[in-house]
Amino acid sequence: MTPNPNPTTPGDPTPGGVSQERKVVLVTGASAGIGRAAADRLATRGWTVCGASRRGTNGSGWSALVMDVDSDESVAAGVDSVLGAHGRLDAVVACAGWGLAGPVEDTPLTDAKAQLETNFWGAVRLTQAALPAMRARGGGRIVLVSSIGGAVGIPFQAFYSASKFAMEGFGEALAYQVAPFDIDVVLVEPGNVHTDFTANRRDVPVSADDPYAAATKKAVSKMEADEAAGVDPQSAADTIVRALEARRPPRRLSVGHPGERVGLLAKRLLPYRVFEWGAKGSLGV
């Protein structure tokens, strides 16, 4: 992709959809991984990028913002600071998230709730905080970074999958509600991406005599190997750029190796027993 000094999003005030002002986008989870890659890529394409994270990590060509998506107050203050600094907010990209692996039976509910607090409710907080400014401006775009794991359940990552399944339903329902205000919602569904997400995953302790021990080890090992061989985060960043700059974006965009992406289609078309039989090997069960 070549740099675009006038990125196009809904609500452009000039004919032809090209604004003379730099569009402003707020990206959460911008300290690493897909969020960092997306913030860097958008900055090269002429967006004014505010990259939010708990650490407030600086990026290349964009400004850092300290924001904790687990906190109502932090998200509201972060969005207000972007509006105060730039006077507009054209788009948000909800990238903040982490992984939790282990058997459902052994997972403390505090950990399960924390998983959804960041991955799902963090995106909800960002959306709620951004919508009033988008409606007032006459348009905007919301990109929710979901996962192929939001359409195909991942064994021993049940609560991660639950957070992404929830995001899928939330984004789809939200799209109907905000369409009259020229606000688009796009769900980006990455498969395996080679980032530090793997190293930062939280593992539920499983004892050697646990009935799930062997299956957990096999499935998590397969998952880690697949992530290590995953696509570069720049591929995901390019997909996010497409979601933001397409004049009429699709509701969902997937990114990853072809074998992973075809699984989305297979689940829709095949009888569920046939799909699950074929998926077991690829999921490590």
Q: Does residue 60 have an active-site annotation?
A: no
Choose, from 23, 31, 161, 163, the residue flagged as catalytic.
31
Q: Shortest CA distance to 96 belongs to which of 129, 67, 60, 133?
A: 67
Q: Is 235 a catalytic residue?
A: no
- Report d(CA 145, CA 214) in Å as an integer: 31
> CA-to-CA distance for 124 and 167, rounded, in angstroms?
9
Residue among 161, 163, 164, 254 flagged as catalytic: 164
Active-site residue among 53, 74, 146, 161? 146
3-state secondary structure 194-251: CCCHHHHCEECCCCCCCCCHHHHHHHHHHHHHHHHCCECHHHHHHHHHHHHHCCCCCC
The answer to whether the beta carbons of residues 180 and 134 sit under 8 Å apart is no
Which of 23, 74, 160, 254 is catalytic? The answer is 160
Burial code (b: 16+ CB inside 10 Å, e: under 16) for 196-205 equals ebbeebeebe
Judge whether 146 counts as a catalytic residue.
Answer: yes
Residue 160 among the catalytic residues: yes
Q: Which residues does the annotation mark as catalytic?
A: 31, 146, 160, 164
